[in-house]
Structure 1
């Protein structure tokens, strides 16, 4: 006898992480290349002494520290095993049947269609604009009486583009108040565009807006997995009901707390990433490549049908980047010498791909 499993599992796509190869430069996963701060490492070491005990399921100390940092009430905060875990839990609290719909831009974060289907809901992907940013007008047009959740990734992954404060404000004002809008701001610390919105400010006057952020990127804790959400208390309470117990482990909580304590030093590092982002973008533009306007810690080249071949050739040259089907490739900003290695490859094949 064969065990009965969900009938739709065969159609579920799997999340594909950035690959790595021995001795190759990995620019495929949007990680911070800077080593962890010594105080964070010390906190991890100390926390490891108590791993025989369960962690605080509510991450109270971290929640209080985040609330103080962000200027919100602890009741507005919820933590998760990375922001992607919170994405799935948000779908679980808003969607009850396959008829319920989750609207998101496409191409955007690859986990969106996966966690939507895992939760048993229906994804509604809305094509990006020609400049590879969210088409907020089209997303508004996609709303109907089955819409339960809208995901806005800003800056967008993998394109790095942002929507303006004015456009996002008009969008939020037009969305029915009973539909939850999630502003996924995983890359917020890399934004330097003054016209880009701050989701935390927008949430303060909109009870149907929740903001997601993470310690994985600018804080350099990708290997530990801590994300958090900021929203209305009733949404936070609902998330806690579907929260996987103890999913933010004791070491992760200690690391995130320590990272907050040294945040000024950690966030100062983002300036180096931004400087390299601008240098790499300018160099690729000078070579003739199409380059999306990015505000994240990566650069996106919309190479269409040539994307997979370009990524394969880059890997053969010793630099791993990430292709997205027939849409484009994403290159994480690494250390200067790593970026130089990619630019050297890009130069050698520019006549073929630019």
Structure 2
């Protein structure tokens, strides 16, 4: 009987891995999820709490979409509000885009390695994933011609990528992204989760009509726990996406936090500059250690290739320095790599100490 009811579930959902009940040890230095090493500023938390105290918590938000935040984002990017869609994190917008566009068998083209959520969501909606390899020896640069060829050959419904790319940290040239968008028979979804760490602005691509930009408050604004993301698209596309995000996509709490963050945008630029400076220091120091290769990064993390001893390093950092970094072995082409979120200076020093103790230097 149980099997009979399970047959009602979509094949794409049933084929996905089960959700594990993992919990991070709070005693560890968390340098594995590309979070901000600095919390949302304390005085801005007080401002958020002051505003929340004046709101009724027993009521639903005043409208089914967070229009105040939509308007604030539109003003931030000098775009009409009709081009902005807000939801609970850019991860939900990835799901929404694929829910709105994919029919069973539709092809989604993406580079690899890239953010795994594109592949997961495509398969949940029974799409066919076509992956175009990135070449480490070429600095993981965007294979524009190969992506165009794959999209054209398979009449792709979507091309999805992350710019700068996660997990490699690679920045892609706007000219390459424009050529890709103008040469494919499909929508181009560009996830800009790390855009602020390299002052990237791709809003000029929206004029092409087939580009959807996804952004998040999680990284630059130190709001990973608040779950706020947004999409920028041509008005006609944005109107369709508004239909597939959930009703009341943000709590009043998340909307107020995001509004305060936007009002004090300059405060987070200072934090971003500290992270970038530490990223460059960490990269330069690790690069001097024998057996370690650090790839260029335009994000708040580093991809590091190791000449062996990876598991020993991971265990050493965990047990001795109490630091958790990311083992990216789930990407077969990166089986010899780790990814390190940039932390505070003290946390980064622990990483350097652990690498030095294992590899020398």
TM-score (norm 1): 0.91
Moved over 4 A (4+): 7-10, 14-19, 304-309
Within 1, Cα distance between the matches of 2:13 and 2:100? 21
* SS of equivalent to 1:104: strand
* SS of equivalent to 2:111: strand
* 1:20-53 C-alpha deviation (Å, 9 max, x unpaired): 3242211011111212122244324532652211
Report whether the alignment pairs 1:260 with 2:267.
Answer: no
**What CA RMSD, in Å, does the superposition of the two structures yield over aligned residues?**
2.2
* 1:211-233 C-alpha deviation (Å, 9 max, x unpaired): 11111111011001000011011
Contact 1:308–1:324 under 8 Å retained in 2: no
Q: 2:166 aligns with which of 157, 181, 187?
A: 157
* 1:91-117 C-alpha deviation (Å, 9 max, x unpaired): 1111122x1011111111121111111
* SS of equivalent to 2:225: coil
Aligned length: 344
* SS of equivalent to 2:287: helix
Report whether the alignment pairs 1:43 with 2:45.
Answer: no
Q: How does 1:1-354 map to 2 (within 5 A)?
A: 1-2=1-2, 3-5=5-7, 6=9, 7-13=11-17, 20-37=24-41, 38-44=43-49, 46-47=51-52, 49-55=55-61, 56-97=63-104, 99-130=105-136, 131-143=139-151, 144-176=153-185, 179-191=186-198, 198-203=201-206, 205-288=207-290, 289-303=292-306, 307-317=310-320, 318-325=322-329, 326=332, 327=334, 328-350=337-359
* 1:98-138 C-alpha deviation (Å, 9 max, x unpaired): x1011111111121111111222122222112223332222
Contact 1:133–1:159 under 8 Å retained in 2: no
Contact 2:174–2:202 under 8 Å retained in 1: no
Within 2, Cα distance between the matches of 1:148 and 1:228? 21
Within 2, Cα distance between the matches of 1:302 and 1:64? 43
Contact 1:47–1:251 under 8 Å retained in 2: yes
Greater CA deviation, 336-345 or 150-159?
Answer: 150-159
**Structure 1 residues 246 and 44: alpha-carbon distance in aligned structure 2, compared to 1, 3 A threshold:** farther
**Structure 1 residues 304 and 146: alpha-carbon distance in aligned structure 2, compared to 1, 3 A threshold:** farther
**Structure 1 residues 86 and 68: alpha-carbon distance in aligned structure 2, compared to 1, 3 A threshold:** same
Within 2, Cα distance between the matches of 1:295 and 1:304? 23
Contact 1:211–1:231 under 8 Å retained in 2: yes
**Structure 1 residues 133 and 311: alpha-carbon distance in aligned structure 2, compared to 1, 3 A threshold:** farther
* SS of equivalent to 1:147: coil
Within 1, Cα distance between the matches of 2:98 and 2:169? 24
